[in-house]
């Protein structure tokens, strides 16, 4: 199976610090989709972003930004000026299309300390 690797198991930062969550994926396909989801303690998965393989533009949404680098097969996620409410487990995932299941990384548990 083509894996998604999130090397950072747990990260702790102090509030207002910037933090980057790494994601590296394996794929032999030219077309694929990458995702980031947030899972707060309640358990629900919150969709953050979807990026297709043909769109390497970086994206910024408020305090969130994503850096997609096909050359290194990475799709990293940065939270700027972190807040306590950002504390959650963040999952990076890959899919071939909307009809195919997601392959998830193991997740990175982010703790933001006040």
Partner 1 sequence: GAVVSQHPSRVICKSGTSVKIECRSLDFQATTMFWYRQFPKQSLMLMATSNEGSKATYEQGVEKDKFLINHASLTLSTLTVTSAHPEDSSFYICSARSLAGGEADTQYFGPGTRLTVL
- In the complex with partner 1, which residue's Cβ is closer, 43 or 62? 43
Distance CA 4, CA 34 (A): 10
Question: Under the criterion CB under 8 A, does residue 97 sit at the interface with partner 1?
Answer: yes
In angstroms, what is the minimal distance from the CB of 86 to partner 1? 19
25: left (phi over 0), alpha (psi -120 to 50) or beta: beta
Residues 106 and 21: beta-carbon distance below 8 Å: no
- In the complex with partner 1, which residue's Cβ is closer, 28 or 44? 44
Question: Under the criterion CB under 8 A, does residue 91 sit at the interface with partner 1?
Answer: yes
Distance CA 55, CA 9 (A): 28
Question: Under the criterion CB under 8 A, does residue 13 sit at the interface with partner 1?
Answer: no
- In the complex with partner 1, which residue's Cβ is closer, 13 or 48? 48
In angstroms, what is the minimal distance from the CB of 106 to partner 1? 5
- In the complex with partner 1, which residue's Cβ is closer, 24 or 95? 95
C-alpha distances out from residue 4 to 14, 23, 24, 68, 78, Å: 27, 7, 6, 14, 18
| R_g of the chain computed on alpha carbons | 14
Site of interaction with partner 1 (CB under 8 A): 33, 35, 37, 42-45, 47, 50, 91, 95, 97-99, 101-107
């Amino acid at each position: 199976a083509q894996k998604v690797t999130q090397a950072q198991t747990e990260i702790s930062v102090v509030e207002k610090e910037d933090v980057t969550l790494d994601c590296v994926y394996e794929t032999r396909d030219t077309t694929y989709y990458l995702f980031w989801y947030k899972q707060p303690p309640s358990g629900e998965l919150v969709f953050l972003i979807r990026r297709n393989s043909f769109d390497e533009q970086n994206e910024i949404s408020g305090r969130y930004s994503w850096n997609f680098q096909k050359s290194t097969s990475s799709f990293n996620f940065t939270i700027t000026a972190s807040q306590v409410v950002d504390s959650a487990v963040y999952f990076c995932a890959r899919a071939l299309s909307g009809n195919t299941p997601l392959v998830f990384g193991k997740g990175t548990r982010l703790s933001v300390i006040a």
